[in-house]
Every structure is written in C-alpha cells, then in structure tokens.
Structure 1
Amino acid sequence: MSEHTVRSPMPGVFYRCPAPGRPPFAEIGATVTADQTIGIIEVMKQFAEVKAGAPGRVTAFIAENDALLGPGDPVATIEAG
C-alpha cells in the first residue's frame, strides 16, 4: 500500500469541521473516497473543500484545526488502497 499526502489547495485557515460544535469531516482511521471532503480552507470568508485525493484510510492529520496554511502545505496522510 502507498501513502498519499493531502495538500492544501490554497492559503488560508484549515478547519476539520464544517462549523463549530459539529463533528469533523473525517477522523483518523476513517475510510474515505478520493472525492470525499476531509476539511475546508477559509480565506476572507470564502471556503474551499479539501478533498482526500485518493481512496483509503486516513492515517494522520498533519495540520491542526485552525492552522494557517500555505498552498501545498500538507494537511493529512492517507494509506491508499
């Protein structure tokens, strides 16, 4: 199995949940599809979904919730299957 690194599509603040108090889009250990949203990036009140990019199991979130990210910064890792 190979490891896929999910990267930020743009600069902004990374959120694992769709809104405060809501459950995260995905947890560590969750099985995801390539087009599944695992987080969002917010910049100037505009939001962009962060997609898994590969089917498999989420093994880690590298970016913390509320982290300021640059384009291409690592967000999570997925064990692609």
Structure 2
Amino acid sequence: MAMHTIELTLPGVFYQRPAPDQPPFKSPGDPVVAGETIGLVEVMKSFLSIEANCDGIFGRYLLADQSDVDAGDAACEIEV
C-alpha cells in the first residue's frame, strides 16, 4: 500500500479535534472514507472542515493540534 498526503487548501489554525474536550477526528489505524472530516482549519473565527479525498487507513497527523498553517501544508497521511 502507498501513503497519500492530505494537503490544506487555506491558511489558518489547524485542529485535530472537533472540540478541546473531545478526541481527535482520527487515530492511527482508523478507517477513512472519502469526504469524511479529518480536521478543521480556523480562518477569521470560521471553522472549515478538512475532508479526506480518498478511502484508506489513517496513518498519522503531520501537523500539531492548534498549529498555524499555510495553504499547501501536509495535514495527515492516509494509507491507500
């Protein structure tokens, strides 16, 4: 199997979890379906979903939770 990288399309702050008191959207080994939310980016107080663009097995996040990000940054890896 190969690793597929999900890249961000906008700058902002990246979140691995839907809320501070909740677990991350995905953990290593979790199944992933195309269109499923795997993270959030906050831009000017708006939260935008980052969605998987392929099916596979979640590998790992490549960005720390609540980190500043730019468009084109790799957010996570999915094994396809």
| TM-score (norm. length: structure 1) | 0.92
Structure 1, unaligned runs of 5 or more:
none
Q: Could you list the structure 1 runs, at least 4 aligned residues long, displaced by more than 3 angstroms after superposition.
A: none
- What does residue 57 of structure 2 align with? 57
Structure 1 residue 32 displacement after superposition: 0.5
Structure 1 residue 25 displacement after superposition: 1.1
1:31-50 correspondence runs (5 A):
31-50=31-50
CA distance in 1, matches of 2:24, 2:60: 13
| Paired residues, number | 80
CA distance in 1, matches of 2:24, 2:66: 13
What CA RMSD, in Å, does the superposition of the two structures yield over aligned residues? 0.9
Q: Percent identity?
A: 39
Structure 1 residue 2 displacement after superposition: 2.2
